[in-house]
Amino acid sequence: MVPTSKSREDITIDEILERVRAYINDEDQLSVIEKAYLFAKEKHEGQFRKTGEPYIIHPMNVALILTTIYADYETISAGFLHDVLEDCDCTLEEMEEQFGKDITKLVQGVTKLSKIHFSTENDYLIDYYKKIIVGMSEDVRVIIIKLSDRLHNMRTLWAIPPDRQKVKAREALEILAPIAHHLGIHKIKSELEDLSLRYLKPDVFYDIAEKLNKTKLERDKTVYDMQQEVSNLLTEHHIPHEIKGRAKSIYSIYNKLDKGKKFSDIYDLLALRILVHTEQECYLALGIIHSKFRPLPKRFKDYIAMPKPNMYQSLHTTVFGIDGYLFEIQIRTYDMDEVAENGIASHWAYKENGGSKSTANLQSTTEQKLQFFKSIIDLSHDKMSSEDFVNSVKDEVLNNNIYVFTPKGDVIELPRGATPLDFAYKIHTKVGETTVGAIVNNSIVPLDYELKDNDIVKINTNKSSTPSKEWIHMVKATQTKNKIRSFFTKNEREVYIERGKDNLEKELRKRKLAFSDFFTEENVKKICDAIHVENLEEIYLAAGNGKATVNSIINVVDKIKESPAPKAVKVVPKNIDADIIVSGIDKVKVSLAHCCHPVYGDAIVGYITKGNGISVHRLNCHNLSMLEERTLEVTWNQNVNKRYLTCILVHTNNIENRMLDLMQSISMLNINVDGIQVMSKTDKIIYEINCYVTGLEQLEKLILSLSKNSYVEKVERTMR
């Protein structure tokens, strides 16, 4: 069994046109596609591929692949023409005359991509990436054609010598498949991976294929039975749906085996995908399935609430299905499925037939998704060694990222091991450069704290603060390192000059003097003499690096209107929770107590700690009773919009694991869960749930909603 598609040597233009007609009905566009086919056929006449077929079979297959991701007519036309400029007797002018600028540009882009020269393996990788990025930034359709081109070449890889096979396969696996992944084009990605594995590790590939084959009958039957059961269940609950059994790719199985799992342990071998119409139905279906089939703990993932960066959305769960088999189940809407299969290319499918609008949309979406590649390429230019580059691509692009939140709930993707500094720089370089502190999940953490999935990170900045050289050792992302480095490698003199000029400008403005009126030739000379420098630039420098103060410089000329001496800079602890107003006092450190976790809306009271500012407790917190004389009145700031960590205990009345069910109810209220602790007693389970709520109102809703479950005995807020 080889689960990849074959090259189609029997393909006809009529078949391709028919497929296009399924989603493009503009006759003019269809005739351009046909014309491109005829043009390519004529130009490739007499040429043959290594497989022995007439050459035109290749561009036809490429066009066919493009129809499966609903490419627009220009892309399909360029798919037909993609090898014409390079391999045939055809000039740019001729093609432009026949097909216009847009299609020709696409073909040119693909042609450029295929001309690669390389010396070492690393340089080659870099070069390749750069070319791809350049192509992408011009028009992402170039890359989509390139991916389809390579996919067909991989399908016919048997025709070239074994050593070339391995080179091409590695290239497909290491470069093109990840790019397809980032663009979310799952179809092309997984087929490229499977085909690559087949040539890179044929023994492994065929071994897995054979094992799959051996167990196929049994699995098919089990999957079918489970499918029926689930389908009946959903029908009973009036949820319209469609269920597909789905084949895991050989490569994904190989990946798991490679991580040390046994073939028999790979649960995802049995897999179902459920398609429903609305997001709400996804969660409903999940609940219904969990009510009948016991879920495997820790395997639930909610990519609907938290989509992957390539836009993938779905619910994932693993349950004990019929006959004790484990089933990996994906639940998603039809729209989500479209995006999961075609990624970036799904933007075509939603728009009318390939107008310029959808192309622009496709392009801008891609640009957002590929910011990361771009920044690496920019930085790699001269500051990064080849090895660093390849490592950073491998580390940061290909796997292993964590997802954390801004206080507003935006998701930020960072490499595993990233610190608050990485986070700050990722938000904006300026934020990174002025970072003075970080708060993770409401606690102050050191800047080299290792962030974890789902952390809520807030960065404190101070406009006049600058990076420290130590930071390079405190960050994980190569991007961040480069940004920090570039801050320091920027000519320091320039930085000082700029700063000096800035400060002088500010002080002059304060004294109501115009900059140009002040620095006349005569005045500059006076100042130079006074502070022993040569020219205006050196005056700025002196003001910037502290050799002379701004006032002493200006006073050389403008003694009369001297402004009061600058106040000494006093370090005031930052008010980290501006959401609390302390009556009569500002600039005092305020924190929310960890014993009773007050949330917005709670009756609260402030307690003056020894040396640690004011700690805010709930009015009924038992830790406060004996400390009355050190309390003071505090109120919530109504203008602040954030989420508060709170902790509740859910007492159940039996020992069944309800974790997923609880998680689901919580997420339906749009509440972020920080963690769930399970405490088992002999006859029941108590769940301690840490979550972030917008305030008392939401918290009460949550408690009410959880209490409604028949298995819940009581729900209470914790107080330590």
Residues assigned a catalytic role:
86-87
Between 149 and 328, CB nearer to Mn ion: 149
Q: How far apart are CA 398 and CA 181, in angstroms?
A: 9
Name 103's Cβ contacts closer than 8 Å, sequence gap at least 6.
32, 36, 74, 77, 78, 81, 95
Provide the minimum distance between the beta carbon of 69 and Mn ion in the complex, in angstroms, as a whole number. Answer: 17
Residue whose C-beta lies closest to Mn ion: 149
Between 86 and 96, CB nearer to Mn ion: 86
Between 84 and 599, CB nearer to Mn ion: 84
What is the chain's length?
Answer: 720
Provide the minimum distance between the beta carbon of 495 and Mn ion in the complex, in angstroms, as a whole number. Answer: 50
Q: How far apart are CA 543 and CA 519, in angstroms?
A: 14
Q: Which residues, numbered 318-337, are part of the site for Mn ion (CB under 5 A)?
A: none
The window from 83-91, 97-105, 117-125, 272-280 that contacts Mn ion (CB under 5 A) reads: 83-91
Residues 32, 73: contact at Cβ < 8 Å? yes
**DSSP codes of every residue in 506-526:** HHHHHTT--HHHHS-HHHHHH
Provide the minimum distance between the beta carbon of 502 and Mn ion in the complex, in angstroms, as a whole number. Answer: 55
Q: What angle do CA 49, 65, 143 make, to 5 degrees?
A: 90
Provide the minimum distance between the beta carbon of 82 and Mn ion in the complex, in angstroms, as a whole number. Answer: 6
- Backbone φ and ψ of 525, nearest 5°: -65, -45
Between 152 and 481, CB nearer to Mn ion: 152
Between 74 and 83, CB nearer to Mn ion: 83
Residues 135, 149: contact at Cβ < 8 Å? no
3-state SS track over 572-595:
CCCCCCCCEEECCCCCCCEEECCC
Q: Which residues, numbered 149-208, are part of the site for Mn ion (CB under 5 A)?
A: 149
Provide the minimum distance between the beta carbon of 281 and Mn ion in the complex, in angstroms, as a whole number. Answer: 43
Q: How far apart are CA 718 and CA 716, in angstroms?
A: 6
Q: Which residues, numbered 586-645, are part of the site for Mn ion (CB under 5 A)?
A: none
Tell me, residue by residue from 27 to 66, as one string, x for binding to Mn ion by CB under 5 A and - for no binding.
----------------------------------------
Provide the minimum distance between the beta carbon of 202 and Mn ion in the complex, in angstroms, as a whole number. Answer: 24
Q: Is 153 exposed, middle or buried (0-12, 13-18, 19+ CB in 10 A)?
A: buried
Provide the minimum distance between the beta carbon of 97 and Mn ion in the complex, in angstroms, as a whole number. Answer: 23
The window from 25-33, 79-87, 464-472, 696-704 that contacts Mn ion (CB under 5 A) reads: 79-87
The window from 81-89, 239-247, 281-289, 547-555 that contacts Mn ion (CB under 5 A) reads: 81-89
Between 84 and 685, CB nearer to Mn ion: 84
Q: How far apart are CA 31 and CA 25, in angstroms?
A: 11
Tell me, residue by residue from 118 to 157, as one string, x for binding to Mn ion by CB under 5 A and - for no binding.
-------------------------------x--------
**DSSP codes of every residue in 8-42:** -TT--HHHHHHHHHTT---HHHHHHHHHHHHHHHH
Provide the minimum distance between the beta carbon of 678 and Mn ion in the complex, in angstroms, as a whole number. Answer: 56
Q: How many residues bind Mn ion (CB under 5 A)?
A: 2
What's at 79, amino acid-wise?
Answer: G
3-state SS track over 211-278:
HHHHCHHHHHHHHHHHHHHHHHHHHHCCCCCEEEECCCCHHHHHHHHHCCCCHHHCHHHCEEEEEECC
Between 78 and 339, CB nearer to Mn ion: 78
Provide the minimum distance between the beta carbon of 157 and Mn ion in the complex, in angstroms, as a whole number. Answer: 13
SS3 call for 106: helix
The window from 76-84, 193-201, 345-353, 640-648 that contacts Mn ion (CB under 5 A) reads: 76-84
Q: Is 214 exposed, middle or buried (0-12, 13-18, 19+ CB in 10 A)?
A: exposed
Q: For the stretch 28-66, what's the b/e string if a residue is b when 16 or more beta carbons lie within 10 angstroms of its beta carbon? A: ebbebbbebbebbbebbeeeebebebbbbbbbbbbbbbb
Q: How far apart are CA 629 and CA 598, in angstroms?
A: 20
Question: What's the sign of the alpha-carbon dihedral 17, 21, 27, 33?
Answer: negative
Between 83 and 171, CB nearer to Mn ion: 83
Give the rounded distance of the alpha carbon of 257 from its chain centre. 26
Provide the minimum distance between the beta carbon of 411 and Mn ion in the complex, in angstroms, as a whole number. Answer: 38
83 binds Mn ion, rule: CB under 5 A: yes
Query: Angle formed by the axes of helices 57-68 and 73-81, to 10°?
Result: 160
Q: Which residues, numbered 337-356, are part of the site for Mn ion (CB under 5 A)?
A: none
Between 111 and 442, CB nearer to Mn ion: 111
Between 82 and 332, CB nearer to Mn ion: 82
Query: Angle formed by the axes of helices 186-200 and 162-171, to 10°?
Result: 150
Q: Which residues, numbered 524-583, are part of the site for Mn ion (CB under 5 A)?
A: none
Contact residues for Mn ion, defined by CB under 5 A: 83, 149
